[in-house]
Structure 1
Amino acid sequence: MSETPVKPVLQKPPGYKDPNVPAGPRGLRPPPRKPILPPSFHPKKRKTNYGRACCCCFCIFFLIFLLLIIISAAAFYLWFDPKLPRFHVQSFRISRFNVNRRPDGTNLDAKTTTRLEVKNPNGKMTYYYGNTEVDVTVGEGVSETDLGTTSVPEFTMRKKSTRSLRVETKVSNKLVVDEVGNKLKARYRSKSLLVNVEARTKVGVSVAGLKIGMVGVTVKCDGMSKKQLDGGDMPKCVINMLKWLNIH
């Protein structure tokens, strides 16, 4: 009989450990390493956006506050029905108007008396005024000439009341251009002279005993002819408030 060929014994690689052999104290396996992932695979931590939450709260609070202001203003308007004061030129008189041509130039002497009527049409509000500066001029454009300025002391307008302010102005030996002096003299004689009255003051409001701050006001009564005023007309004046609001 032929002999069975002997299989060659395979050499075990260095460091090979038989899994069937129980591991001793020295044969502990190291823990498996976690796979290293790229940064894009790392889970992101959620951050609480406190800034956005504060912004939303502020917007909500501002809208509520604005709504309350609108509601309060509407209730105030409906209850008090506020109306602005009214100004009229009640009368205007020129007691002296002399244009004298002299060697040193043309001089003007003039004296005027204006009655300015002020009305408070409100039944639940009181107006109070500061010192009022009143300017009187005649003519228009380049020929407009100042006839003086005077001051009216502060006063108060009660509910549904009317007040007449007497304003007197004068100029003496006022130097004017010869051409302007001749034009003013001719228009004064023909009663076509244009008169302009401007009052600058501050107005405050008192509601239920509570005073509200004063606001600068300019009242303009422009382009009134002497004939119109002598006929008894009472032209309305324009109220300029805060330099942007024009009210007739």
Structure 2
Amino acid sequence: MADHQKIHPVVDPEAPPTEPLVPRGSFRSEKGDPVQHPPDPPPLQRTSPVIQSKPPKRSCCCKCMCWTISLLVLLLVIVGAIAGVLYLVFRPKLPKYSVDSLRITDFRLNYDLTLYAKFDMKIRANNPNKKIGIYYEKGGKLSVWYTNNKLCQGSLPKFYQGHQNTTVLNVVLTGQTQYGSTLMTALQEQQQKGRIPLDLKVDVPVAIKLGKLKLKKVRFLVECLLLVDSLSANNLISIRASDCRFRLKL
């Protein structure tokens, strides 16, 4: 039986040394040892850029409002400054009014039950200002009331009142009132007590004169609360109390 011999491969001594195979994804170190290559980084996800919103611009309406408010404030400051200067220069004082006398020339109940009244009244107007004149224009009215009923009315004359001047006005007032019977009964009851309350109202357009400057027309409103002893005709009525209040209407 023939002997079997093993045949070994012959290595060529002059051939260059062969390197062992390195698996894919690995690399060798400086010593030649295989080193595992780090895995590739995951692909970057694309993100949309963040857009920062710009602050909203002021609208034209807002700007116009700011300008308007600023102009109004400036105008108020200017008007206030002018008013302050005028006050320091002219030192204005309110005019004063009073009722000097009251006479009843006619006061009767008519056949149609209306109440007819005719008063003669003296009104004293005092202008205490040193540098301010008052033009009393046409259209001034003077009326006398009992409760809510107007007894009579008269017109004030047109005139100019100078500096620190006192003027006495004679005014005739006439009127005819409905429900005269009821009014006459109430007035007779008050007359027995000797205390009849009357309300005197004055409404007159005026123009103020500052130095040589005549201003725009305004209205003087005066209300005098009177307390008289009687309303007997052809008698000089005694005024027991008088309280006049003044206000200005632009």
TM-score of the aligned structures, taking structure 1 as reference length: 0.66
**Structure 1 residue 199, shift from structure 2 partner:** 1.3
User: Amino acid of the residue matched to residue 127 of structure 1?
Assistant: I
What's the counterpart of residue 157 of structure 2? Answer: 153
Matched residue, 2:131: 124
CA contact (8 A) 2:161 2:167 kept: yes
Q: Residues 121, 37 of structure 1: CA spacing in aligned structure 2 closer, same or farther, 3 A cutoff?
A: farther
Equivalent residue in structure 2 for 1:215, among 209, 215, 218: 218
| Paired position in structure 2 for 1:133 | 141
**Post-superposition CA distance 1:149-200 (Å, at most 9, x none):** 221232211111111121112246x542534322223434664222222111
| Residue matched to 1:16 | none
SS at 1:181 equivalent: helix
- 1: distance between equivalents of 2:136 and 2:194? 34
- Greater alpha carbon shift after TM alignment, 76-85 vs 91-100: 91-100
Whether the aligned pair in 2 keeps the contact of 1:133 and 1:199 (CA below 8 Å) is: yes
| TM-fit CA distance, 1:60 | 6.2
Match of 1:164 among 164, 168, 171: 168
Instruction: Report the CA distance shift for 1:40/1:73 in structure 2 as closer, same or farther (over 3 A).
Output: same
Is 1:238 the counterpart of 2:245 in the alignment?
yes
1:104-153 deviation per Cα after TM superposition (whole angstroms, max 9, x unaligned):
x634333210111111110001111222111123x335xx4x33222123
Distance change in 2, residues 1:162/1:211 (3 Å): same
Q: Report the Cα distance in structure 2 between the residues aligned to 1:233 and 1:133, rounded to whole angstroms.
A: 24
Unaligned runs of 5+ residues in structure 2 are: 1-11, 20-45, 231-235
What is the CA distance between 1:92 and its match in structure 2? 0.9
CA distance 1:57–1:97, shift in 2 (3 Å):
closer
In structure 2, give the amino acid aligned to 1:197. L
Cα distance in 2, alignment partners of residues 191 and 170 from structure 1: 23
1:4–1:64 distance in 2 versus 1, CA, 3 Å = same
- Shift of the 189–95 alpha-carbon distance from structure 1 to 2, 3 Å rule, reads farther
Q: RMSD in angstroms over aligned alpha carbons?
A: 3.9
CA distance in 1, matches of 2:92, 2:228: 33
Give the Cα separation in 1 of the matches to 2:241 and 2:18.
142
The CA deviation string for residues 1-58 of structure 1, in whole angstroms up to 9 with x for no partner, is: 5222578xxxxxxxxxxxxxxxxxxxxxxxxxxxx9844268x889997978888777
Shift of 1:93: 1.0
Are 2:226 and 2:239, in contact at CA under 8 Å, matched by a contact in 1?
no
Does the Cα contact within 8 Å between 1:89 and 1:234 map onto a contact in 2? no
* Equivalent residues, number: 209
Q: Hey, which of these two has a bigger chunk of helix by percent? A: 1
Give structure 1 stretches of 5+ with no counterpart.
Answer: 8-35, 244-248
CA distance in 2, matches of 1:198, 1:96: 20
Distance 1:140 1:47, change over 3 A: closer
Secondary structure at the aligned position of 2:187 is classed as helix
Tell me if structure 2 keeps the 8 A contact 1:195–1:226.
Answer: no
Which entry has the higher C-alpha Rg, 1 or 2?
Answer: 2
2:228 is aligned, of 219, 225, 234, to 225
Tell me which residue corresponds to 2:115.
Answer: 108
2:39 alignment partner in structure 1? none
TM-score (norm 2): 0.65
Q: 198, 202, 205: which one pairs with 1:199?
A: 202
